[in-house]
Structure 1
Amino acid sequence: MSSTVLGRNAVTVNKKYTEYFLPTVLTAMATNIAMIVDSIIAGNLLGQNSLAAINLMSPISQLYFSITILFGLGASSIISFAKGRRDEKQANRVFTSTFIVLIALSVIFIAIQLPLADSISSLLTKDAELKSLLYQYYVPFIIGTPIYLLLMCSIHFVRADARPAFASNIVIVANAVNLGLDFLFMGAFKMGIAGSSIATVTGYAVGFVMMSTHFIMKKSTLHFDFSILRNPVQFFKFLGKMVTIGLSGALGTMLITVKMLFLNTIIQSIGGSAGMVSYSVCSSSQIFMSMFITGASQTMIPIIGVCLGEKDYDGVRYAFRRAARVLAVSSVVIMLFICIEPEPIIKFFGITSPTDIANTVPAMRINALSFPGLSFSFLLLYYYMATQKRAISTAISIINGIVILIPSALILGKFFGITGVWYSLVVAQVGTLVVVYFIDLAEKRKSGGKYKNFYLLEETEDNELLALSFKGTKENAAGVSLYLSSFLSKNGIEESRANRIAVAVEEMAANCAERMEGKKKFADIDIRIFADKKETIISVRDNGDEFDPLNDDKEFEMSPLTVVKAISDKVEYSRALGFNRTIIKL
Structure 2
Amino acid sequence: MKIVLVSSLTLSVLLIVYPQAILFLYSIKNVTHIPVVLNALRIFAISYVGTAITFLYTFYAQAIQKNQLSTIISFLEGLVLPISLAIILAYVFGADGIWISFAIAEALTILFIFIYSRLLNKKTNGEYTGFFINKHNDDARVFEHTIQGNVEEAINLSREVQDYLKGNKSATLVSLAIEEMIVNIININESVNAIDVIVRKNEDNILIAVKDNGIDFNPVVENAELQFDNISVLNKIAEKIDYSRVLGLNSTVITINN
Which residue does the alignment assign to 1:388? Answer: 68
- Partner in structure 2 of residue 402 of structure 1: 84
Q: Does residue 122 of structure 2 align to residue 440 of structure 1? A: no
How far the C-alpha of 1:447 sits from its partner, in A, is 1.6
Amino acid at match of 1:505: I
Matched, 1:570 2:237: yes
Q: Which residue of 2 aligns with 1:370?
A: 47
| 2:33 aligned partner | 356
8 A contact 2:76–2:109 mirrored in 1: no
Confirm or deny: 8 A CA contact 1:529 1:537 kept in the other structure.
yes
Q: Tell me the residue number matched to 2:192.
A: 522
The answer to which structure has the higher strand fraction is 2
Identify if the C-alpha distance between structure 1 residues 440 and 548 changes in structure 2 by more than 3 Å, giving closer, same or farther: closer
1:330 and 1:436 map into 2 onto residues whose CA distance is 23
Decide which structure has the larger Cα Rg and report it. Answer: 1
Distance change in 2, residues 1:345/1:542 (3 Å):
closer
Contact 1:366/1:422 (<8 A) preserved: no
One-letter amino acid of the counterpart of residue 474, structure 1: V
Structure 2 residue runs of 5 or longer lacking an equivalent are none
TM-score between the two structures when normalised by the length of structure 2: 0.60
Aligned-CA RMSD value? 5.0
| Paired position in structure 2 for 1:345 | 22
- TM-aligned CA distance change 1:551 to 1:391, over 3 Å: closer
The answer to whether residue 157 in structure 2 is matched with residue 480 in structure 1 is: yes
Is the contact between residue 209 and residue 253 of structure 2 (CA under 8 Å) also seen in structure 1? yes
User: By how many angstroms is 1:443 displaced?
Assistant: 2.3
> Aligned letter for 1:388?
Q
2:100 is the counterpart of 1:424: yes
The Cα shift of 1:478 comes to 3.8
Verify the 8 A CA contact 2:210 2:253 in the aligned structure 1.
Answer: yes
5 Å matches for 1:454-473? 454-456=131-133, 465-473=142-150
2:150 is matched by which residue type in structure 1?
Answer: T
> Contact 1:529/1:538 (CA < 8 Å) preserved in 2?
yes
TM-score with structure 1 setting the length: 0.32
Shift of 1:471: 1.9
2:178 counterpart residue number: 505
Alignment-mate amino acid for residue 197 of structure 2:
I
Deviation at 1:360, TM superposition (A): 3.2
C-alpha spacing 1:560/1:329, structure 2 compared with 1 (3 Å)? same
Could you list the per-position Cα deviations for residues 326-358 of structure 1 after superposition, in whole angstroms to 9, with x for gaps in the alignment? Answer: 754653454344335433533554434444324
State the identity %.
19
Whole-Å separation in 2 of the counterparts to 1:550 and 1:437? 35
> Matched residues in 2 for 1:549 and 1:378: separation?
30
**Any residues of structure 2 matched to 1:198-209 within 5 Å, and which?**
none
Q: How far 1:364 moved relative to its partner? A: 2.2
Against the structure 1 CA distance between its residues 400 and 375, is the aligned structure 2 distance closer, same or farther, given a 3 Å change threshold? farther
CA pair 542-399 structure 1, distance change in 2 beyond 3 A: closer
CA-CA distance at 1:372 after TM superposition: 1.6
Deviations 1:65-119 (A, max 9, x none): xxxxxxxxxxxxxxxxxxxxxxxxxxxxxxxxxxxxxxxxxxxxxxxxxxxxxxx
Aligned residues: 241
Residues 377, 429 of structure 1: 8 Å contact kept: no
Query: In the alignment, is the contact (CA less than 8 A) between 2:12 and 2:45 conserved in 1?
Result: yes
Report if the CA contact (8 A) 2:144-2:199 is conserved: yes
CA distance in 2: counterparts of 1:488 and 1:400, whole angstroms: 51
Separation in 2, partners of 1:433, 1:506: 42
Counterparts of residues 108-123 of structure 1 (less than 5 Å): none
Question: Structure 2: how far apart are the matches of 1:398 and 1:479?
Answer: 51
Q: Deviations over 1:357-409 (max 9, x none)?
A: 24432332232222222443465578779632499646665444324x55445
Does the Cα contact within 8 Å between 2:146 and 2:195 map onto a contact in 1?
yes
CA 1:498–1:428: 2 relative to 1, 3 Å: closer
Q: Is the 8 A contact 2:81 2:105 kept in 1?
A: no
Contact persistence 1:527–1:539 (CA under 8 A): yes
SS in 2 for 1:388: helix
Q: 1:573 to 1:502 in 2, by over 3 A?
A: closer
